[in-house]
Amino acid sequence: MAEKKDGASAIELTLTEQEKKIILLLREVKFGEVKVVVQDGIPVRLDEIRKSIKL
């Protein structure tokens, strides 16, 4: 880990294409909920929940 000037630690991460795409899609969501579906440690689908009806 690298040390920052303010004493905080920095972590270097390499993102997969799927992870990069999730981050971009999350930035587009203005409000609401999303569900990330993961298989074998790899994100495969992002579901944006548009409607919730309380009974």
Sign of the dihedral through C-alpha 11, 17, 23, 27: positive
Q: Considering the entire predicted model, what is its pTM?
A: 0.63
Task: Give pLDDT, residue 52.
Answer: 79
Answer whether residue 1 is part of any domain. Answer: no
Burial 29-50 (b: 16+ CB within 10 A, else e): eeeeeeeeeeeeeeeeeeeeee
Of 19, 17, 1, 21, nearest in space to 9 by CA: 1
Q: What's the pLDDT at 49?
A: 85
At 31-42, the pLDDT tens digits run: 888 999 999 999
Query: What pLDDT is stored for residue 53 in this prediction?
Result: 78
Place of tokens 């929940």: 49
SS3 35: strand
In this structure, is residue 48 part of a structural domain?
yes
Does a structural domain hold residue 32?
Answer: yes
Residue 2 lies in a domain: no
Q: Is residue 4 a part of any domain in this protein?
A: no
Domain membership flag for residue 10: no
pLDDT at 50: 82
Q: What is the pLDDT of residues 1-55, one digit of tens each?
A: 555 566 678 889 899 999 999 999 999 988 888 999 999 999 999 998 887 778 8
Domain of residue 54 covers 15-55
42 falls within a domain: yes
Domain tally for the chain? 1
